[in-house]
Copies of this chain bind each other. A is one copy, B any other.
Amino acid sequence: MAFRKFLPLFDRVLVERLAAETVTKGGIMLPEKSQGKVLQATVLAVGPGNRTKAGDLQPVSVKAGDRVLLPEYGGTKVTLDDKEYFLFRDGDILGKYLE
């Protein structure tokens, strides 16, 4: 997979958004336009982290495989092997879902 050959730098986190729900709970098909932006995503790769003022490396707080909740805005779209991923700063990710 493309991202395995891609290492985000510093405190960046490479994520893939989950597929949008195309059918409501009640079974009604959702037209694409009304499928809001998906805020749940899976972490694919993480950078080494940032350095504190004192120069120590501070690792990122999520790891590959984590399911996370993204903020509504922000992030950088990244295309790897024609597939669309996103890069977020560790500090901008709202939280993670515990198994």
- A positions within 8 Å CB-CB of B: 4-10, 12, 14, 47-48, 51-56, 58, 61-62, 69, 71-72, 76, 78, 87, 90-91, 93-99
Report whether A97 and B6 are in contact in the complex, using a CB–CB cutoff of 8 Å.
yes
Report whether A10 and B91 are in contact in the complex, using a CB–CB cutoff of 8 Å.
yes
Report whether A9 and B96 are in contact in the complex, using a CB–CB cutoff of 8 Å.
yes
Report whether B12 and A94 are in contact in the complex, using a CB–CB cutoff of 8 Å.
yes
Report whether B95 and A87 are in contact in the complex, using a CB–CB cutoff of 8 Å.
yes
- Residue in chain B with minimal CB distance to A95: B8
Using known A-B contacts A51-B52, A51-B58, A58-B55, determine if residue A9 contacts B78 with beta carbons closer than 8 Å: no
Report whether B5 and A61 are in contact in the complex, using a CB–CB cutoff of 8 Å.
no
Residues of B within 8 A of A55 (CB): 52, 54, 56, 58
Report whether B94 and A9 are in contact in the complex, using a CB–CB cutoff of 8 Å.
yes
Using known A-B contacts A69-B78, A71-B76, determine if residue A6 contacts B54 with beta carbons closer than 8 Å: no
- Of A9, A54, A72, most buried by chain B (CB within 10 Å of CB) is A9
